[in-house]
Amino acid sequence: MNLVTDPTGEAIVAHLTTAITERLDAGESVLWLVPGGSAMQSAAKVLEQLEDVDTSRLCITLTDERYGAPGHEDENWSQLAKLGFSVSSINAYRVLRGEDAETTAADFSDKLAALFETYQYKIGLFGIGADGHTAGIKPHTIAVTSSDLAASFKGEDFERITMTAEAVRRLDEVVAYAYGEEKHDTLREILHEQKPLADQPAQVLKEVQTATLFSDVTA
């Protein structure tokens, strides 16, 4: 995984915008997975930069979601919309669809499988937590070990619907966003050590061929 130390948080926006635009301009189809959490603002800025780009071959969905009724106050999709992340003119898949959690996860898994087959370039934006989780893949949960592409489980904070480690492995590129001193030790471990995936799920990001971490941490 390549580290880009960027205290301002602006380099990740330029990187993602360029990565997506170059593929679209070359005639390729692109699947872009976006997260909740602190990385949402970067995603919104990238989408703003794509306003003058032909996005007819772009599809957007989430890396993970907080389960509940569509539109509930903690829904990542709704919080992205509040930041100006409008996908009204772009092909998009909203994870929450008014079904129970098990059905929602199964539908999301099936949808990811179809999208992975349909889109040529698959790029994901991920946050990383101080506990070593990424997307909604929390340590020692089914999301680490499942052979499906999405899973549901009840966490200590939210009931989650998330892509799994297996789904992450199928991406062409991952871009990670992680800022804050409380994460620095974890980030250095991810960069320089090989820890069990069950203990530190974000280790899976290193299994993707092109992986870049943008952070205020130094090597």
| Helix, coil or strand: residue 138 | coil
Q: Which residues of the chain have pLDDT under 50?
A: none
Q: How far, in whole angstroms, is CA 197 from its chain's centroid?
A: 17
The three-state secondary structure class of 73 is coil
Q: Which two tokens stand for residue 25?
A: 């301009």
Q: What pLDDT, in 10s, does the model give residues 67-97?
A: 999 999 999 999 998 888 878 768 999 999 9
Contact 14, 202 (CB under 8 A): no
Two tokens at 110? 């099936």
Distance in angstroms (rounded) separating the CA atoms of residues 207 and 204: 5
Each residue's pLDDT tens digit, 100-117: 999 999 999 999 999 999
Give the DSSP H/E element, type plus range, for residue 214: strand 210-215
Q: Considering only CA atoms, which of 88, 90, 95 is closest in space to residue 111?
A: 95
**pLDDT at position 88, please?**
74
pLDDT at 14: 96
Give 3-state DSSP helix, strand, coil % of the chain, rounded to 5. Answer: 35, 25, 40
Q: What is the pTM of this model?
A: 0.95
- Can you list the domains of the chain with their CATH numbers? 2-215 (3.40.50.1360)
pLDDT recorded at residue 19:
97
CA-to-CA dists, residue 132 to 10, 27, 55, 60, angstroms: 23, 36, 33, 25
CA distance 138 to 6: 26
